[in-house]
Chain A
Amino acid sequence: MCSNTDIKEMLPAYLEQRLEEEWALQVEKHLETCDDCRAEIKLLGMMISEQVPDPGEAFWAAMPERIYRNVQKMQEKKRLIDISSLWNRMLLPRWAWSVTAAALVLVVTLLIVKPIPNDVSRITPNGDDAAYDESTIMDTPGLAELSQTELEDVSRWADSELASLGNEIVDVFISAPERDIHEDLSDLNRQEIERLSRSLEELEQEV
């Protein structure tokens, strides 16, 4: 077996007549005496002469348009996937909803535990349904009689009452975590959603 790798590496170029004259002569001289390289050049010659069929001009002319259409199709597909993944990123994951719900429960508990200001006690029931009798209603002064401070206190008390609504929603989340949050929200009317929104804002401020 011939070990002249320089010559062997030049054989394909020699066959295709791409070698400079000087090198081509060296290859020819080597081939005169080397059976191994003669066998090799015959083999390479067979490989080079293997023809690739020409599919025709119509095939080549149509190819850019065909490829362009496929590229457009792929890019459109990619865009749709990007939009869908962006939407998924915008949606809060379940754990985030759970954390929000837990925080809401905590805030509501704090508000319940916190005593009602005296001024509010004067104009509102005790918070206990049992004590909410007709005489209490009769004793309750009208809103027109209240001072600005009292009105603000009433407003705060009302907000804390609304928090119980949020509490209910939280319960729903905790008891049925597999339910879709969007379905739950769609059950609420506009006023309830506004109340929930206010409660969430308060929570955000406190956090």
Chain B
Amino acid sequence: MDEDLDLITRIETGEREAFNELVLKYQKPLYSLLYRMVSDHDDASDLLQKTFVKAFTGLKGFERRSSFKTWLYQIAINLAKNVYRDRSRVEKVPIDDVIIRRDPKTLETLIKQEDRLRLRQSLAGLPEKQRLTLLLRVQEARKFEEIAAIMKCSIGTAKANYHHAVQKLKKIMGENQ
């Protein structure tokens, strides 16, 4: 974290190398988070740029109470929420088309693909906070302390959101089977 603050101080004095270093450090994990949230490369790439631009143009607003990483994640999640909401209105592709397009080779692959699609649809059906908490905990392997900081809630709330999300997901997946 101190390393990030050092980089930020150097960026504020106009050091281009520090700027590149900070982008290179966080671009991949941020892209991964954003891709999981919006499930589309173009949107994730666009959001990645917007996140960094918003962070760098608003560095004066970064109070350094939390880590730069947490602050960056907060910006990314807030930007992605809007895209996700818009995308929820996008026309859904029929399940058969998806399976055929993905070139299934065996029956097992077909079942796996179907499971994955069902999982994505089930995740999309969760309330936003629960879905984000689950994503950060399971797919991004974040600790509850970090999730609480990113989501601006207590650790207890983060844990409750996680448990509710898992229960709902199990229920939705069970109903779909």
Binding site for B on A (CB under 8 A): 1, 5, 8-9, 12-13, 16, 18, 39-40, 43-44, 46-48, 50, 52-53, 55, 59-60, 63-64, 66-68, 70-71, 74-75, 78
Q: Which residues of B sit under 8 angstroms from A47, Cβ to Cβ?
A: 119, 123, 134, 138-139
Task: Assess whether A71 is in contact with B31, with CB atoms less than 8 Å apart.
Answer: no
| A43→B23 contact, CB < 8 A | no
With contacts A12-B141, A50-B139, A67-B52 taken as known, whether A74 is within 8 angstroms of B173 at the C-beta atoms is: no
Interface residue tally on B, bucketed by range: 35 or more
Do A63 and B23 touch across chains, with their CB atoms under 8 A apart? yes
Contact yes or no, A39 B159, CB < 8 A: no
B81 to chain A, nearest CB (A): 19
From known contacts A12-B137, A64-B20, infer whether A52 and B36 are also in contact, taking CB-CB under 8 Å. Answer: yes
B8 lies within 8 A of chain A by Cβ: no
Known: A64-B20, A71-B56. A53 touches B116 (CB 8 A): no
Contact B53–A12 (Cβ < 8 Å): no
Q: Supply 11 A–B pairs (Cβ within 8 Å), ascending by A.
A: A1-B167, A5-B159, A43-B119, A53-B35, A53-B41, A55-B45, A64-B20, A68-B16, A68-B19, A71-B56, A78-B57
- Residue of A8, A16, A53, A63 contacting most chain B CB atoms (<10 Å): A63
Instruction: For A67, give its contact among B28, B32, B36, B53 (CB under 8 Å).
Output: B53
Contact A16 B141 (CB under 8 A): yes
From B35, B123, B163, B173, give the contact of A5 (CB < 8 A).
Answer: B163
The DSSP consensus for interface residues of chain B is: helix
What residues of chain A lie closer than 8 Å to B166, measured between beta carbons?
8, 40, 43-44
CA distance A144 to B56 in the complex (A): 74
User: When chains A and B are docked, how far (Å) is the Cα of A51 from the Cα of B57?
Assistant: 32
CA distance in complex: A74, B119 (Å): 39
- A67 & B169 in contact (Cβ 8 Å cutoff): no
Contact with A along B55-82 (1 / 0, CB 8 A): 0110000000000000000000000000
- Cross-chain contact of A71 among B53, B119, B141, B159 (Cβ < 8 A): B53
Closest to B142 in A: A12
Asked whether any CB of chain A lies closer than 8 Å to the CB of B90, the reply is: no
A162 CA / B26 CA spacing, docked (Å): 71
Instruction: List A contacts of B107 (CB < 8 A).
Output: none
Q: B144 an interface residue at 8 Å Cβ cutoff?
A: yes
* Contact (Cβ within 8 A) B173 A43: yes
B contacts, CB < 8 Å to A: 16, 19-20, 23-24, 27-28, 31-32, 35-36, 41, 45, 48-49, 52-53, 56-57, 115-116, 119, 123, 134, 137-139, 141, 144, 159, 162-163, 166-167, 169-170, 173
Closest 8 CB pairs of A and B: A64-B23, A64-B20, A67-B52, A71-B56, A52-B32, A70-B53, A52-B35, A47-B138
Q: How many Å lie between the Cα of A68 and that of B16 in the bound state?
A: 9
- List 19 extra interface pairs beyond A43-B173, A47-B119, A55-B45, CB under 8 A: A1-B167, A5-B163, A8-B166, A12-B141, A16-B141, A43-B166, A44-B138, A46-B116, A46-B119, A48-B138, A50-B116, A52-B31, A52-B32, A53-B41, A63-B48, A64-B20, A67-B23, A67-B52, A67-B53
Residues of A within 8 A of B115 (CB): 46
Contact of B24 among A48, A64, A74, A75 (CB under 8 A): A64
Contact present for B170 and A43 (CB under 8 Å): yes
> How distant is the Cα of A55 from the Cα of B32 in the complex, in angstroms?
11
Is the beta-carbon distance between B41 and A55 smaller than 8 angstroms?
Answer: yes
Q: B159 — which chain A residues lie within 8 A by C-beta?
A: 5, 9
Question: In the docked arrangement, what's the CA distance between A16 and B31, Å?
Answer: 20
B49 to chain A, nearest CB (A): 6
